[in-house]
Amino acid sequence: MGALPAIRYNHLMNYVHKDTCRICKGRDLTRILSLGNHPPVDNFTDVEHLKNEKRYPLNVYFCGTCNLVQLLDVVSEEELFHGEYAYFSSASKPLVEHFRSYADDLAREQLKDDDLVVDIGSNDGILLQHLAHRYRVLGIEPSANVAEAARKKGVETLDGFFTVDMAKKMVEKYGKAKVVAANNVFAHIDDLDEIVQGVKELLSEDGVFVSESHYLLDLIERREFDTVYHEHLCYYSVKPLQHLFKRFGMEVFDVGRVDVHGGSIRVYVRLASGKPLKNSVRVLCALEEKAGLYTLERFSGFQKDVEVIRDKLVSLIRGFRKEGKIVTAYGAPAKGNTLLNFCGFTPDDLKYVTDTTPHKIGLLTPGSHIPVVSPDILKSETPDYILLLAWNYRNFILEKEKELRSRGAKFIIPIPEVEIV
């Protein structure tokens, strides 16, 4: 891994650098990607608060023992989630559809009337809202403003972070859960042991833990480096997850790939039963092995791949700006901020970024300080080029913006490779 740049550590109080693996506690950890120092991706800011912005190292490591790919620089939750959290899952229509069908899967495969479903990191109720009419549902959400949005939809939601203690209190009050879900949050947890122990407390004997996270195989094969950010501590494949749950007397019994967030993995976990696992587990492990995800060598070219994307984007966009073209960005997802900061873009490169989330509009993107504006602006202004930061919704957005494209606007797609459409 000789090509990786040296790390420049800031002496900041709000983070720790771990030296053991989050799953197996081993120390055989090798850095496989360095993206530099970045502010937390959800800390949209304003002119008044620019001076408070802090940056933290963003580096990815591979564990030679259990093969978990992970960050070791852990920024405190207070720093990551301070103030009003701006991410509302339901701001993205395709995601709402996805969770509707996910809820249908759970209802069909796992649930009977009166069962309790708990969602850890339930956001604005995006999953539970589809189950609340038929089952008992309970969300847990640390961001107060997001939890409030869920309650307004009729989804009972507790404030706070999930812990063993909280699980025990929930069992006392509500009884055991048939399903515990944790979507796009299980990869965001530093103390996995606490969560798995809590889930075990909460689940009934025949209960199922189900979790979706961004999938390492898609990240590597499609060079989705921008999905690396401080909140996102683990980049899962099946094998390390098996290792984790085994330590707690549990087993991954079914897995599936899901076409959301640029490629995700859904895992189903139960108390170790001795019953046969679904074939899907063996099939996906074999695919991961074949793809080299269990070897350090597989990751040796990743830094270079990522730098190629960065260099292409920078030269393309700065070239257009020299020609006097208007270049903007579309969607201000968390991952967009990793991309903007890694490329070093500023408002001189990208005039503004449009986003549908009311809480982001009027603010500046963290680090790159590009103004976030309502998509309404595109009704009266036609940029020459639009960098699609929400590239995971590529088809949906290209279709939705047909009229804008017919006026001459072209989209720059950054991932999996730079392309203009």
When asked if residue 357 is in the footprint of ligand TMP (CB under 6 A), the reply is yes
Per the structure block, which two tokens stand in for 317?
């966009």
Under 8 Å between Cβ of 230 and 71? yes
**Residue 210 binds ligand TMP, judged by CB under 6 A:** no
Amino acid identity of 176? K
Pattern 385-404, ligand TMP, x by CB under 6 A: -----x-xx--xx--x----
**Is residue 244 close enough to count as binding Zn ion by CB under 5 A?**
no
Of 197, 356, 374, 382, the one binding ligand TMP (CB under 6 A) is 356
Specify the residue, 238 or 353, whose C-beta has the smaller distance to ligand TMP: 353
* Number of residues located near ligand TMP, criterion CB under 6 A: 17
Q: Examine residue 66 and tell whether it contacts Zn ion (CB under 5 A).
A: yes
CA–CA distance from 133 to each of 39, 103, 113, 125 (Å)?
Answer: 40, 12, 10, 13
CA distances from 309 to 259, 392, 412 (A): 23, 16, 12
Pick between residue 71 and residue 329 the one whose CB is nearest to ligand TMP. 329
Burial 291-328 (b: 16+ CB within 10 A, else e): eebbeeeebeebbeebeebbebbeebbeebbeeeebbb
The DSSP code sequence of 10-26 is ---SSEEE--S-TTT--
Q: Does residue 40 belong to the site contacting ligand TMP (CB under 6 A)?
A: no
Per CB under 6 A, 95 contacts ligand TMP: yes
Among 24, 196, 210, 340, binds Zn ion (CB under 5 A): 24
**Dihedral Cα 223, 226, 230, 234, nearest 10 deg:** -30
Give 277-283 contacts, CB < 8 A, sequence gap 24+: 277/251, 277/252, 277/253, 278/253, 278/254, 280/254, 280/255, 280/256, 281/238, 281/252, 281/253, 281/254, 281/255
Cβ closest to ligand TMP, residue 393 vs residue 411: 393
Q: Which stretch binds ligand TMP (CB under 6 A): 90-98, 105-113, 212-220, 378-386?
A: 90-98
Question: In the complex with Zn ion, which residue's Cβ is closer, 26 or 292?
Answer: 26
Residue 355 interacts with which of Zn ion, ligand TMP, none, CB < 5 to 8 Å by class: ligand TMP
CA 171-102-98 angle, to 5 degrees, is 130
Mark 320-339 with x for binding to ligand TMP (rule: CB under 6 A) and - for no binding.
-----------xxx------
Query: Among Zn ion, ligand TMP, none, what binds residue 65 when CB lies within 5 to 8 Å by partner kind?
Result: Zn ion
- Within 8 A by CB and 6+ apart from 164, the residues are 194, 197, 198, 201
412 counts as binding Zn ion under rule CB under 5 A: no
Task: Compare residues 71 and 397 and give the one whose CB is closer to ligand TMP.
Answer: 397
Partner in contact with 92, chosen from ligand TMP, Zn ion, none, beta carbon below 5 to 8 Å by kind: ligand TMP
Residues that bind Zn ion (CB under 5 A): 21, 23-24, 26, 63, 65-66, 68
Residues that bind ligand TMP (CB under 6 A): 91-95, 331-333, 355-357, 390, 392-393, 396-397, 400
